Amino acid sequence: MDLIKKYSDFICESIDPITYSGGDVTKMPIIGKVITKPVGPFPPSEYDIVEIIDTNRGPIYVANMWYKEWKRIPQLIHGELVEEFIPENENFK
């Protein structure tokens, strides 16, 4: 049991929490679109993006939809899954 606690503590310390601005993502202005890479049986998809979070592991894109609406958790897309980011204007390149 002690080994599980040590592993659990290690995992929790190595994960930085990801936070976004906290607004209603369905009402935030769209700053661009991402096209995701195909993953397994899932084809590429397109998402409208409202915010980009810079992390030490790469960018995280916040989509304009809820992952869990009742918990107000937005749909997040890690930069490693993104084939292309298409900004709405030149300020977001």
Report the domain count for the chain.
1
Please determine, for residue 74, whether its predicted confidence score (pLDDT) is greater than 50.
Answer: yes
pLDDT digits (tens, 9 = 90+) for 41-55: 999 999 999 999 998
pLDDT digits (tens, 9 = 90+) for 15-43: 667 788 888 999 999 999 999 999 999 99
Q: What is the pTM of this model?
A: 0.79
Domain that holds residue 65: 20-92
Is 87 a member of any domain? yes
* Inter-residue contact 82 to 37 (CB < 8 Å): yes
Q: How far apart are CA 87 and CA 49, in angstroms?
A: 9
* Inter-residue contact 83 to 33 (CB < 8 Å): no
Please determine, for residue 87, whether its predicted confidence score (pLDDT) is greater than 90.
Answer: yes
Residue 32 belongs to a domain with what CATH number?
2.30.30
